[in-house]
Amino acid sequence: MELPAPHGVALVTGGNRGIGRATAQALLAGGHPTVVGSRSGSAPDGVPAVQMDVTSTQSVNDAFDEIEQNYGPVSVLIANAGITRDTLLMRMSDDDLDAVIQANLIGAIRCMRRAARNMVKARNGRIVLVSSVVWALGSAGQTNYAAAKAGLIGAGRSVARELGGRGITVNIVAPGFIDTDMTQELSAADRAAILAAIPTGRYGEVSEVADLIAYLCSPQAAYINGAVIPIDGGLGMGH
Ligand SMILES: NC(=O)c1ccc[n+]([C@@H]2O[C@H](COP(=O)([O-])OP(=O)(O)OC[C@H]3O[C@@H](n4cnc5c(N)ncnc54)[C@H](OP(=O)(O)O)[C@@H]3O)[C@@H](O)[C@H]2O)c1
């Protein structure tokens, strides 16, 4: 089967550290021009960056305009930006709820909405949303975060149905516990309890998640659409 060459650029939101940074590096290593977006506007060495805050429609749209002017249309979107505001339900403020749903769920939808414009024109595109194993397992202290990550499944699959006929795929990856700044925030006791529950007995590496995302963006993955792919060492098995 003849596979189309990649066109346009990849945008990785939250691409200046952690999983996003490794994903930008994996896409570049695979020959795909890549730009990263983050609130701080910083980026790994040698990777172009745009300042973007996914909680603002204006900021997302401005960032896409800037990328299109300087690098070309966005043909690959990795909606990776995310935050946690962990606390028990009865202590969870409206601000904890709003901030996490805005950054993790609505931010990804905003980026898909803006990216779809050019992808539909080109009749080609790849979208990967970064969810979490907690979307299905739930997680005490993460009602806001688990709700946002579960929301990404419904959002992503809806867009997969809308745009599948235009050569655009939307897939969702659901990482377990990966060694990044986000998981460093957990207490030593929580880290030990989590480790004991992971069948492979270790945390995941950012490069392992990045390689999966890069594969989903490749021409070889053209028939994978609307999939939720766990990468969690077996933590979420059965869900
Ligand atoms: N680490 C894990 O174990 C794990 C497991 C499952 C899922 N995930 C998910 O994987 C993704 C990446 O996680 P990570 O562990 O790599 O996190 P991280 O190291 O904390 O990095 C988060 C990234 O998101 C960016 N970001 C946060 N809020 C943003 C906003 N409003 N607008 C634009 N960028 C924003 C940050 O940019 P700034 O530097 O500018 O703040 C940063 O680049 C997240 O969606 C997370 O929920 C992580």
- Write the CATH number for 50: 3.40.50.720
**65 assigned to some structural domain:** yes
* Placement of tokens 């709700």 in the chain: 147
Task: Kindly list the protein residues whose Cβ atom lies closer than 6 A to any atom of ligand 1.
Answer: 13-14, 16-20, 38-40, 52-55, 80-83, 103-104, 107, 130, 132, 175, 177-178, 180-183
- 203 as an active site residue: the answer is no
Ligand 1 pocket mutation pick from 105, 182, 200, 213 by most atoms within 8 angstroms of CB: 182
Exposure b/e, 150-167, CB count within 10 A at least 16 = b: bbbbebbbebbeebeeee
> Is residue 94 a part of any domain in this protein?
yes
Range of 140's domain? 9-231
33-48 pLDDT, tens digit per residue, is 999 999 999 988 889 9
β-bridge mates for residue 74, sequence order: 9
> Mean pLDDT across the stretch 199-228?
97
pLDDT > 80? residue 132 = yes
Does pTM surpass 0.85?
A: yes
Q: How many domains does the chain divide into?
A: 1
Tell me, yes or no, whether 2 lies in a domain. no
Our mutation pick for probing the ligand 1 site, out of 80, 194, 205, counting the most ligand atoms within 8 A of Cβ, is 80
For the chain, give the longest Cα–Cα distance: 55
Residue 13: inside a domain: yes
Tell me the pLDDT band of 6, cut-offs 50, 70 and 90: low
Is 167 a domain residue? yes
